[in-house]
Chain A
Amino acid sequence: MRGRPNLFTRYEADAGIFPSNTQRVWFVIGLIAVAVLPIWLPRDWMILIATAFIASVGVIGLNLITGYAGQVSLGHAFFLGIGAYAGAALGGAATDRVTGLGIDILIWLPAAGLAAGLVGAIIAPVAVRLRGLYLAFLTLGLVFLGEHIFREWDSVTGGPGIGREPAELSLLGWRFDLDGTIGGFNVTREQQIYWLGLVVLIFMGFMAKNLVRSRIGRAFAAIRDRDIAAEVMGIDLTRYKVLAFAVSSFYAGVAGALLFTVTGFVNTASFNLLLSINYIAMVVIGGAASIAGSIMGAAFLTLLPRMIDAAGDVLPFLEVGSQGILSTSQLERVIFGVLIIAFLIFEPMGLYGIWIRIRNYWKAWPFSY
C-alpha cells in the first residue's frame, strides 16, 4: 500500500489513531519540538503554555460529552471546581483554616478526577431524562449551586475572596514546583510544570482518542446523532449517557486540580458560568468532536490575551488604553465573543476544520482548485 496512504484494507487501520506513517512521523517530530521548546522559552510563556496543556485536558473532557455524545453541558466549571478542591484537600497543606492531607500527586491527581467523575455519575441519572436545552439548564443550575457550596464549605475551599493554597506538586518526593537538577542539567520550576502538563495531556489525549474509536465512542456518536435511533439499535442510553458524564467529569476533575495548582491559587469565585462558557468556546473554536481540535481550541483561547497584547505593540491603533472605548482586556473579551459567533457561522468545524481544509489543499497540490 505504499504511496496510497488513504487506502485501507483493514478496519483496524481505518480506525487507527494515526492512519498513515506520515502522521506518525510528523507527530513524533512535533512532539519533540514541543518538548524541547522550554529550553529557550521565557518563563511566563512556559506557564502560559502549560496552562494551555492542562486546559486542553478539560476541553477534551467537555468535547467527549458535548462534541461526541451530544449532551450539552454548561456545567463544566462545577466539575473543574470539584477537581480543584478535591486535589487541594488531598494534596495541599493543612492550615488552621483549611484541611489538607499533603498526599503525593500520584494519589491526588487521579483522586481529584475520580471525585469529579463520581459526582458526574451521581448527577447523570437525572440528566439522562432530559434532552437538549433542558439539559443545558440543568447543568447551568449546577454551576450556581456549586458556586454556593464552594463559598460556604470554607473548611475545604477557604471561603470566598480568601481562597486557599492548591495541592503540592510532589511526585514521590520530587518537587515540580522547585528548581532542581535532572542528570546534571538545571531545570527551572516553569520547565518542570511545562513538561508535567505535556505528559498529562499526552496521556489523557491518547486515552480519549482510544475511547472515541472504541465501541463506547461509537455508541456516543450514535446517541449524538439520534438518541432514539441509537436506542432502537440496542444501545443502552442510560448506561452510555452516565458513562459520558462520568468520563467527562473525570477529565474536568484532573484538569481542575492541575490548573489551579499551576496558576497558584484557588478562589471560590473562579468556578462560575464564565469559566464554563470559556470551555464551551474552546470546544466550538477548536472543533466539536475532535481531540486535536480540543487542544487547538484550548491553546488558541489561552494564548489569545497574549497575542492581543503583542498585536497591540505592533499595531498601535489596537492599543486603545484606558481613555479609549475599550481597555485591552475588554477588547479581548469582545474578540472572544465575536470569535464564537464567527466560528459558528462560518466554520462550524472550528480550527480543526480549517486545518483539514489546508491539509486537503496541499494533498492535491498542484491541482488543488
Chain B
Amino acid sequence: MTTFLQATVAGLSLASIYMLLALGFVIIYKSMQVLSFAHPAIMLFAAYMVSWFSVDKDLNFWLALALGVVAAGAMGWLAERIAVRPMIGKPLFAIAILTIGLDIAIRTPINNLIGINIRSVGDPWGFGTWQIGGVVVQHRAVAMIVTAFIVGSLLFAFFRYSRVGLAMRATAIDQEVALAQGISVGRIFSLAWIMAGAMAALAGTFASSDLSGLSQSTYIVALKALPAIVVGGLDSIGGAVVGALIIGLAEAYTATYQSQHLSFLGGNFSQVVPYLVLLIVLLIKPYGLFGTEEVERV
C-alpha cells in the first residue's frame, strides 16, 4: 500500500508537469488548429533562463522564475509572429512540420548554452521531504501539484469569465466569424502562444528541479506530454488535464511495478508507456477521450 501511494504521488507530480505542457499545446491548438512541436524548445529555453538568472546571476529564485516565464512568453510570441503567422491558411501538416523546424532552430543554440553538464535551476524546495504515514513526499512534488492546480483553475476561470477568454473561445469555434464580430484574431493567436510559453516555463523549471537537473535531454519531458493531449483529445482543456493524469500515473505505476512483475518488457519501459497508452487510446477512440469528432462532410 505504501508503495502504491508512493507511486501515486510520483505519478501526480509527473502529471502536473505534463498538464502544464498539455494545456499550452491545447490553447495553441484551440486558437489556431496548430500543433506546436516547438514547445520542447520553448520549455528548454525557459528552464535555461531560470537557471541562468538564479544560479549564474544569483537572483532570487522567484524573480528568476518570473523572468523565465516572461522570456518564454516572449519566445512564444516571437515564434508565432515570425514563423507561424505567415503560414495561416496553409495545410495543417505543413505548419506542424514548420514548428519542428522551429524547434530545431531554437533548441540547438540552447543545447550549446546548457552544455554537457547538468545545471541546477536553483529551486527553493531542494530535495527536502515530508513523511506522511510512511509515504515520502518531496516538497517540490507538493509545489508542482499545487501550482498545476492553481494554473488550471485560473485558466478555467479565464476562459469562463473574462472577455479575452470569451474572445479566445469564439476564435476557437470559427476564426472568420470571430473576426467579423470585432475580435482581433491575430492578437488572440499571439496571446495563445504567450500563455503556452509561460506555462511551459513553469513545467520546464519543475522538470529540471529534480535529481536529474536541467540537461539537454530535459526536452523529452515535453515530448511525453504529447500523448497526454492526444489521450484527452487535441482540443479539450478538460481532456488535457485528464490525459495528463492518465499518462503521469501510468508512467509512475509502470516505473514502480513493471520491473518486478513484467520484467520481460525490458529496462526503462516506463519511458515508453505514454506512447503505448497513446496507441491503445487511439485504437479505441480515434479522436481521444474528449476530442471533438470531426463531422465528415464532402
Interface residues of A (CB under 8 A from B): 66, 70, 72, 126, 129-134, 136-138, 140-142, 144-145, 147-148, 151-152, 226, 228-229, 232, 273, 277, 280-281, 284, 325-327, 330, 333-334, 336-341, 344-345, 348
Q: Which chain B residues lie closer than 8 Å to A141 at the CB level?
A: 227, 275-276, 278-279
Range of interface residues on B (Cβ < 8 Å): 35 or more
Q: Which chain B residues lie closer than 8 Å to A133 at the CB level?
A: 35, 92-93, 96, 234
Inter-chain CA distance A348–B278, complex, in Å, is: 31
**A226, A281, A334, A336, most chain B CB atoms within 10 A:** A334
Inter-chain CA distance A281–B97, complex, in Å, is: 8
A338 engages B105 (CB within 8 Å): yes
Q: Given A334-B105, A340-B104: A134 and B286 within 8 A (CB)? A: yes
A228 engages B296 (CB within 8 Å): yes
A335 to chain B, nearest CB (A): 9
Q: Which chain B residues lie closer than 8 Å to A147 at the CB level?
A: 272
Closest to B278 in A: A141
B269 to chain A, nearest CB (A): 7
Q: Which chain A residues lie closer than 8 Å to B111 at the CB level?
A: 330
Inter-chain CA distance A223–B104, complex, in Å, is: 31
Interface residues of B (CB under 8 A from A): 35, 83, 86-87, 90, 92-98, 100-106, 108-109, 111-112, 223, 226-227, 230, 234, 265-269, 271-272, 275-276, 278-279, 282-283, 286-288, 294, 296-298
B96 engages A341 (CB within 8 Å): no
A339 engages B272 (CB within 8 Å): no
B101 engages A339 (CB within 8 Å): yes
Cross-chain contact of A344 among B35, B90, B294 (Cβ < 8 A): B90
Nearest first, the 8 A-B pairs at minimum CB distance are A340-B101, A337-B105, A337-B104, A152-B266, A141-B275, A333-B108, A341-B101, A144-B275
Closest to B223 in A: A273
B295 to chain A, nearest CB (A): 10
B276 engages A145 (CB within 8 Å): yes
A129 engages B278 (CB within 8 Å): no
Q: Which chain A residues lie closer than 8 Å to B234 at the CB level?
A: 133-134
Q: Given A137-B282, A141-B279: A325 and B109 within 8 A (CB)? A: yes
Q: Which chain B residues lie closer than 8 Å to A337 at the CB level?
A: 101-106, 108
19 inter-chain pairs at a CB distance below 8 angstroms, sorted by A residue, are: A70-B93, A136-B93, A142-B279, A145-B276, A147-B272, A148-B269, A228-B297, A228-B298, A280-B97, A284-B94, A334-B104, A334-B109, A336-B104, A337-B105, A340-B98, A341-B98, A341-B101, A345-B87, A348-B90
Closest to B291 in A: A134
B contact patch SS: helix
Q: Given A337-B105, A337-B108: A344 and B87 within 8 A (CB)? A: yes
A63 to chain B, nearest CB (A): 13
B219 to chain A, nearest CB (A): 11
A contact patch SS: helix
Closest to B275 in A: A141
Cross-chain contact of B104 among A130, A145, A333 (Cβ < 8 A): A333
B230 engages A137 (CB within 8 Å): yes
Q: Given A136-B96, A228-B296, A341-B102: A130 and B112 within 8 A (CB)? A: no
**B95, B111, B266, most chain A CB atoms within 10 A:** B266
Could you list 5 further interchain pairs (A-B, Cβ under 8 angstroms) beyond the known A130-B286, A340-B100, A344-B90? A152-B267, A334-B109, A337-B106, A338-B105, A340-B97
Q: Given A229-B298, A338-B105: A345 and B83 within 8 A (CB)? A: yes
Inter-chain CA distance A176–B111, complex, in Å, is: 40
Inter-chain CA distance A141–B296, complex, in Å, is: 26
Cross-chain contact of A126 among B106, B266, B283 (Cβ < 8 A): B283
Q: Given A141-B278, A152-B266: A326 and B101 within 8 A (CB)? A: no
Q: Which chain A residues lie closer than 8 Å to B97 at the CB level?
A: 280-281, 284, 340, 344
